[in-house]
Amino acid sequence: MNKINLLLLLGVVATSWAQQQQTLEKGWKFTREDKPVFSQTNYNDAKWQRVTVPHDWAIYGPFDMENDIQRTAIKQDGQKAAIEHTGRTGGLPFVGVGWYRTQFNVPELTSDKQVFIQFDGAMSNPEVFVNGQKAGEWHNGYNTFFLDITPYVKANNNTLAVRLNNLTQMSRWYPGAGLYRNVHIITKNKTHIPIWGVQITTPKVREDLAEIVIKTEYVANNPKEKLEFRTEILDPQGQKVATMHSVLVSSTSFDNTVEQTTTIKSPQLWDIGKPFLYKAVTKLYEGDTVKDEVTTTFGVRSIELKPNDGLYLNGRKIKIQGVCMHHDLGPLGAAVNESAIRRQIQIMQDMGVNAIRTSHNMPAPEYVRVADEMGMLLAVESFDEWAIPKVENGYHLYFKDWAEKDLTNLVKHYRNNPSVLMWFIGNEVEEQSVESGSQVARYLQDIIKKYDTTRPVSNGMDRPHDVLKNNMAATMQLMGFNYRPFKYKEAYRKLPQQLILGSETASTVSSRGVYKFPVERKSMAKYPDMQSSSYDVEHCGWSNLPEDDWIHQEDLPYTIGEFIWTGFDYLGEPTPYYVEWPSHSSYFGAVDLAGLPKDRFYLYRSHWNKEAETLHILPHWNWEGREGEATPIFVYTNYPFAELFINGKSQGKRSKDLSVKLEEKEQEGNPSDLNRQKRYRLMWMDTKYEPGTVKVVAYDTNGKAVAEKEICTAGKPYALRLSTEYKTALTPNSKDLAFITVEAVDKDGNLCPTVNDLVQFSVKGAGFYKAAANGDATCTDPFHLPKMHLFNGKLVMMVQAGEKAGEITIEAKSKTLKGKISVEVKK
Ligand code: GAL
């Protein structure tokens, strides 16, 4: 909605032109060739590819192990000698130069206007040319930045050219490529409120009253003119609840900032799952004319860290049940898409997640807005590298000159978003092991504090010994420890903060629907099929199983929660298969790359989601050839105990063993057994496979049978079942996506968990085929072609709405199976 419409809706009459924003989505041209003349206005781009932005040039593949092969030793993972990392950045062709060109108009342009271009993120090293002249550049591919392009712009037919340049070995994961986030043209009067010039805080929050403080920066074109600031606050229902009014003459002000304070009664607090959002509409008048109008969305809520006690949100103690997430959207690559973000957050909320760490970089504005709107907390991160390299061409190349600019933009951009709970200045940086490391940490933390004092600043540290020694841990307002929970006690004794955050935990690995025998706890286990076991017993050399973190979080009162690595699988980092091509995406997710829950999803859900019933049985029960062999059965449930039956025969009862406690004197490292697991999962280790039915009956604490669940050996594959997740209808905006799960099922509708057939799609009607994925880290089927193999019986395909209402019909066919579904597109 543009500003004028919004004003009319609110019943306010604008007296003059305020500001204008246009998002440049359609009509772009793109090429991978690099010649300097591309910046020129008269360049013939007729043969370039037509694209819509957001656009990720590399996600279309093809996958190839030579794409950014990294011959190196990963120090963090304990590698001593260089090896050939094939899929480390996803095996996709993101390296190299890409050019984008488009045209735009600024019809409102007059001599008293200023024009800005804002990139929500451009991967990477963007150089921006307007009408053949270089307007500016940036380096960090994740950050939002804007440039003043007034000197280069005219009212009509402006040519915008953007050069992006991705280097080899610039990342530890798939970064994406190109204009993968939105681009906006923003026109303002010369007297205006700068972009991100409004800061709203709620320093005092009570149930009956909240104080709202609004600081507004301004640029005055006529310093002697009287300026007036009128701000209205609208509650979540759109009712006006406060007005503020300030007058000044800019030449009398020190810092071109106006501060306004008010109170509102009975505030509707923003909280986890309760996304009450207020709006502040600030108008800047010069004399009697409105020169700018800015609407800022914010929430009323409080955050407090109480040493030796915990983290408080709105006066209520909370524990972080968090996930780390990389920025890619699986088969969509890095190209931002709101429906895919909403789906991700929805799946995580179902798992019981209340916070997401945007590891290890700045999130897209859509991500933060959606988190605000869905009541999901965020830990917003900036860097994976400071001045000392982790990868040859990483951010260290720019750190010295750009860190301050990058952090400033990040904090100013997102400091009004209520979802943002804390900031992260880094992740496992090499400076942890340098004597002066704490000085860099202090420098970065201070930059954040300059723009926002209301949120804690943290840092993901994985070298407890070093950061206790060089004071980096003591410097941080909130200490974040990556892994090694057995070090929490020592850190607590030595450090001043008296609170510990598990900033990154678990890194358990598993592949959806894959089970390995015998079932044993293992570190860095590898198999010929390049998969990891979904019994959730495998982890990395530096990491552990979910329960190793839970037991610390529950038994040590000064822990404030954790962010597991990771919520969803992501492209790149196929640990432990560093050199085994075609393995090219992660095994860490509780949910796979397609967005399908692994067993681990239900393990976390049973512990974290207090509102929902979880009663989940694993493994599947199609083990032809294992008849009579020990085939352990695990049940993940929120109920305290349960009885298991195979073909009606009881296999005995198991209860969560609450006598298992964190050992007083902990050993360094991980236990080698599954003892801690007994407190949280129900395990029948000796059950023998026989085809038929596995049934679990769960009991409550009074011994009453309250729920049951069955899985059975599936018969011959009979059909493909297509079902839509979450959403029932799409909006005709050329962006909205439907996510359709495709499953091979038998005659009775049981999943056939060993079918890996190729499925072909045909999509007709009011939308298009967009992409598909199956969660198999070794699968090199291109995501964007309308065919994909099932992985252990399942995959997810996506269709995108067109611009008109109607019906989309989707047909899926393998050699022997077929299925159909339709999705509505509604205005
Ligand atoms: C951490 C790191 C993450 C990821 C993870 C895998 O050390 O912060 O980015 O590499 O390990 O376990």
pLDDT of residue 212: 98
User: What are the Cα distances from residue 163, in Å, to 39, 61, 97, 760?
Assistant: 8, 20, 7, 37
Q: Is the CB of 540 under 6 A from ligand 1?
A: yes
Q: Is the CB of 507 under 6 A from ligand 1?
A: yes
The residue from 232, 385, 428, 430 that is catalytic is: 428
- Which superfamily does CATH assign the domain made up of 717-825 to? Immunoglobulins (2.60.40.10)
Specify the domain boundaries for CATH 2.60.40.10 within the chain. Answer: 198-299, 618-712, 717-825
pLDDT of residue 788: 98
Ligand 1 atom nearest to 507, measured from its CA: 12
Interatomic CA distance for residues 72 and 80, integer angstroms: 9
Q: Exposure pattern of 42-54 as b/e (b: 16+ CB <10 Å)?
A: ebebeebeebebb
Q: Does an H or E element contain 45, and which?
A: none
Assigned fold of 618-712 = Immunoglobulin-like (2.60.40)
Q: Is the CB of 461 under 6 A from ligand 1?
A: no
Backbone angles phi, psi at 122, to 5 degrees: -145, 120
User: What are the Cα distances from residue 461, in Å, to 472, 480, 487, 495?
Assistant: 9, 6, 12, 14
Backbone angles phi, psi at 248, to 5 degrees: -160, 165
Q: Is the CB of 232 under 6 A from ligand 1?
A: no
Q: Are 24 and 185 in contact (CB under 8 A)?
A: yes
Which residue blocks in 479-618 are alpha helix, DSSP H? 488-494, 546-555, 599-608
Nearest to 561 by CA among 255, 289, 324: 324
Q: Are 228 and 245 in contact (CB under 8 A)?
A: yes
Q: How far is the CA of 577 from the centre of ligand 1 (A)?
A: 14
| 743 in active site | no
pLDDT of residue 99: 96
Specify the domain boundaries for CATH 3.20.20.80 within the chain. Answer: 303-612
Q: Are 125 and 165 in contact (CB under 8 A)?
A: yes
- The number of helix segments (H) and strand segments (E) in the chain equals 10, 48
Q: How far is the CA of 562 from the centre of ligand 1 (A)?
A: 14
Residue showing tokens 């109170």: 263
Q: Is the CB of 713 under 6 A from ligand 1?
A: no
**pLDDT per position as a tens digit, 752-796:** 999 999 999 999 999 999 999 999 999 999 999 999 999 999 999
Question: Could you give the 3-state DSSP secondary structure of residue 728?
Answer: coil
Q: Is the CB of 361 under 6 A from ligand 1?
A: no
Q: Exposure pattern of 548-565 as b/e (b: 16+ CB <10 Å)?
A: bbbbbbbeeebbbbbbbb
Assigned fold of 20-61+94-189 = Jelly Rolls (2.60.120)
The one-letter code for the residue type at 594 is A
Give the number of other CB atoms < 10 A from CB of residue 74: 18
Q: Is the CB of 482 under 6 A from ligand 1?
A: yes
Chain-centre distance for alpha carbon 797 = 20
Give the number of other CB atoms < 10 A from CB of residue 25: 16
Nearest alpha carbon, ligand 1 atom 12? 507
Q: Are 488 and 481 in contact (CB under 8 A)?
A: yes
pLDDT of residue 520: 97
Q: Exposure pattern of 729-756 as b/e (b: 16+ CB <10 Å)?
A: ebebeebbbbbbbbbbbbeeebbbbbbb
Interatomic CA distance for residues 467 and 436, integer angstroms: 11
Q: Are 391 and 169 in contact (CB under 8 A)?
A: yes
**pLDDT per position as a tens digit, 540-568:** 999 999 999 999 999 999 999 999 999 99
Angle subtended by helix axes 599-608 and 546-555, to nearest 10:
10
**Residues pairing with 50 in the sheet:** 29
DSSP E strands in 109-225: the ranges are 113-119, 127-130, 133-137, 145-148, 158-166, 183-189, 198-205, 209-217
Return the HEC string of 733-759.
CCCCEEEEEEEEECCCCCECCCCCCEE
Ligand 1 atom nearest to 586, measured from its CA: 6
**pLDDT per position as a tens digit, 155-182:** 999 999 999 999 999 999 999 999 999 9
User: What are the Cα distances from residue 40, in Å, to 132, 150, 356?
Assistant: 4, 18, 42
Residues, the chain: 827
Ligand 1 atom nearest to 77, measured from its CA: 7
CATH code of domain 198-299: 2.60.40.10
Interatomic CA distance for residues 235 and 256, integer angstroms: 28
Interatomic CA distance for residues 380 and 605, integer angstroms: 24
Q: Is the CB of 565 under 6 A from ligand 1?
A: yes
Pairing of strands 633-637, 615-618: antiparallel
Specify the domain boundaries for CATH 2.60.120.260 within the chain. Answer: 20-61+94-189
Interatomic CA distance for residues 574 and 88, integer angstroms: 6
Rg (CA), the chain: 27
Ligand 1 atom nearest to 462, measured from its CA: 7
The residue from 293, 504, 573, 743 that is catalytic is: 504
Question: Could you give the 3-state DSSP secondary structure of residue 711?
Answer: strand
pLDDT of residue 11: 36
Q: How far is the CA of 483 from the centre of ligand 1 (A)?
A: 9
Q: Would you state the torsion angle of the CA atoms of residues 424, 429, 431, 432, taken in this order, to the nearest 10 degrees?
A: 80
Interatomic CA distance for residues 257 and 198, integer angstroms: 9
Nearest alpha carbon, ligand 1 atom 3? 565
| 504 in active site | yes
Q: Are 424 and 380 in contact (CB under 8 A)?
A: yes
The one-letter code for the residue type at 778 is T
Q: Is the CB of 503 under 6 A from ligand 1?
A: no
Q: Point out the residues of the chain with pLDDT beneath 70.
A: 1-15
Assigned fold of 303-612 = TIM Barrel (3.20.20)
pLDDT of residue 6: 41
Interatomic CA distance for residues 535 and 521, integer angstroms: 9
DSSP for 132-166? TEEEEE---SSS-EEEE-GGG--SS-EEEEEEEEE
